[in-house]
Amino acid sequence: MSIAFNAATAANVSMLQQTNSLFQISQKRVSTGKAIFGAADDATRYRMSDTMKNRAKSLDSVNNNISLALKTLETTDKTLSSMISQINSAQEIARKAQAEGAASTRSTQTTANILSTANITTVANMQYNFSITSDSGKNFTYSWNSGAANTTITWGTLADALNSANIGVQMTFEPSTTAGQTQVKFTSTNGKDFKFDGKTTETLMTPLLGLSTSTGGTTTLTAANALTYFANVAATTPTLSASETGFTVSYGGAVTGTVAVTGATAIATGSSLVFTDGNGQAQAYSNSTSATNVTAMLTEFNNTYGSKGIVMELANTAGAATTFLRIRNANGGNMQILAGTSAFAAAGTAGLTAGPTTGYAGPLSANNSLRLQYGAQFDAIIQNVNQLIANNPVQNGRNLLAGQNMGVVMDEFAGNTITVTGQNIQGNLSANTTLGLSSPGTAWTSDANIQLSASSTNTALTIIRDLQAKLATYNSYMQDRYDINKSYGSEMQTMSDDLVAADVAEESAKLQALQTQQQFAVQAFSMGTQASQGLLRLLS
């Protein structure tokens, strides 16, 4: 059924509909703060607003990447600072090692490679002796019979027995230049000279070739003189020949006679010798009571002057079946003979000196054990530096300290990309790498090697600080760009909002006016309806 409206009612309804539509638009603008919601509202302003909003989003995304790059630079800088601290510590250790110096020791080392677990070669049913005597008067002798089954012992067993005897001589196994091998080293622990006694079986000394001494005749034990200095292997206790006097490790000065003697050689009554003892004091020995021989004279002499640092002995210094009288300074100083008469004169039966004679002391062996301990600490620090480099935090898998680069986009157009160039600064000691730390602490057996390591730390510090400065420049530039992008993005977002923003005050006033207009339209519609109803009543 259709409903008929008069013209006034239709006009009121149309006005009311229009007012409601305008009311909804103003209400939407007031609630959102926007006047333009799409291109249909204002194509130009909407497009400009949308463009700026998208640029603001792009800048925000760019800044996220820059922020990651800045974090990478920040953590890399911390890693470099830690490396500088570590290398400074390594440098300090090198200085300590230099200041410490090498301790002087009375020691000798073989040139042959002998493992402590190696068996000593023996012959069945034979007697073997290994004997060492310190100038302190203490002796170590290890004797055994190989037995019918040819029982053997190891060099480590012999070393343990000597070290446990505590005579002032220690036997150790030092690293060799041959991989997996060791060299045997004998060291005086009481500052005294020591001797491999003649009763030592010669086959035991053959593997120890290369033992050296600074003074006292033959300075190096060779295969030839090992056969003449030491006793032959025997089924029973070996009998020493007169020439098997052993091998003395001595560093004090020594004077050896020029006339071959034996223990039975006569020393005439009145024979005298004037010399300086181990403390530098002048001493005079005289055989004034009666004629004697070399054996008795040596006993008397050493009983008197041994405590004063002077030792007189028979020695085979030529590797032949001959012995000579030798006098040496057991305290490590020079051996000075001022005068000799009768048997001790140059033409005497002992043939010791023709007048004032000086036997000069030799250099002691260097003991670098403390330096090498410092060197081990040095190497540990460098390995820690390597770990710092390997574990450096990275962006997208890029480690700037491993020679990798990092590309960073700086604006929303991707037209301002910079590449942060990394540098491979591995400090591995096994190769001459970028940091130059190729001189390990394991080589700290000389001042030159320690200085080389110390110099390498200076080079490394320069390289690290240069890289740190370069990365700081990147950091400064990217931080500035980050701040600019952030400012641009904020401004563009604001401009985007302003282009489509509504005038809230104006729209609020419109709402009030439309509310009033809506009320009037409703009243007019109501009045028109009432008039129509009154007319209908009259007609009815």
The enclosing domain of 76 has a CATH number of 1.20.1330.10
Give yes or no for residue 1 having a pLDDT over 50. no
How many residues are given for the chain?
A: 540
Give the chain's domain count: 3
For 217, the token pair is 């005749």
143 falls within a domain? yes
- Residues 160 and 224 reside in one and the same domain: yes
Q: Is the pLDDT of residue 429 over 70?
A: no
Alpha-carbon span 117 to 208, nearest angstrom? 15
Residue 526 inside a domain? The answer is no
Q: What is the pLDDT of residues 431-472, one digit of tens each?
A: 445 677 777 887 887 788 888 888 888 888 888 898 888 888
- Whether residue 117 is found in the same domain as residue 246: yes
Q: How confident is the model at residue 528 (pLDDT cuts 50, 70, 90)?
A: low
281 and 336 together in one domain: yes
- Say yes or no to pLDDT of 53 above 80: no
- Band (329; pLDDT cuts 50, 70, 90): very high
Residue 263 forms part of a structural domain: yes
Q: What is the pLDDT of residue 521?
A: 62
Q: What is the rounded distance in angstroms from the CA atom of residue 151 to the CA atom of residue 146?
A: 5
- Helix 43-100 with 447-499: angle, nearest 10 deg: 170
pLDDT at 529: 61
pLDDT of residue 249: 92
DSSP characters over 190-257 = SS--EEE-TTSBHHHHGGGTT-B-SBSS--B--HHHHHHHSBPPBSSSPPPPTT---EEEB-S-EEEE
The residue assigned the tokens 């081990």 is 376
> Residue 283 burial by CB count (10 A; 0-12/13-18/19+): exposed, middle or buried?
middle
Asked whether residue 529 is domain-assigned, the answer is no
Residues 274 and 197 in one domain: no
SS3 sequence, 273-294? EEEECCCCCEEEEEECCCCEEH
Most confidently predicted of 147-151, 333-337, 533-537: 333-337
Q: 330 near 269, Cβ under 8 Å?
A: no
DSSP string, 372-386: HHHHHHHHHHHHHHH
Same domain, 217 and 277: no
Q: State how far the Cα of 416 lies from the Cα of 408, in Å rounded to an integer.
A: 9
Please tell me whether residues 290 and 227 are part of one structural domain: no
Same domain? 358 vs 400:
no
* Boundary (domain end) residue, out of 314, 340, 364: 364
| 177 and 262 belong to one structural domain | no
Is residue 380 included in any domain, yes or no? yes
Indicate if 352 and 412 belong to the same structural domain: no
90-94, 117-121, 409-413: range with lowest mean pLDDT: 409-413
Candidates 465, 462, 460; CA nearest to 381 is 460
Q: Which of 202, 226, 251 is the last residue of a domain?
A: 251
Residue 123: domain span: 104-251
Tell me: do 409 and 458 sit in the same domain.
yes
245 with 256, same domain: the answer is: no
Indicate whether 317 and 334 sit together in one domain: yes
Residue ending a domain, among 216, 233, 251, is: 251
Which residue is listed with tokens 């770990």? 387
Decide if 484 is inside a domain: yes
Q: What percent of the chain has pLDDT over 90?
A: 24
For 209-218, the pLDDT digits (tens) are 989 888 766 6
Report yes or no on 318 lying in a domain: yes
pLDDT digits (tens, 9 = 90+) for 279-293: 889 999 998 777 789
For residue 54, is pLDDT > 90? no
Question: Is 90 within the bounds of a domain?
Answer: yes
Residue 271 has pLDDT above 60, yes or no: yes
Q: Which of 203, 201, 130 is nearest to 167 (CA)?
A: 130
Bridge partners, residue 170, by sequence: 187
Averaged confidence pLDDT in the chain: 81
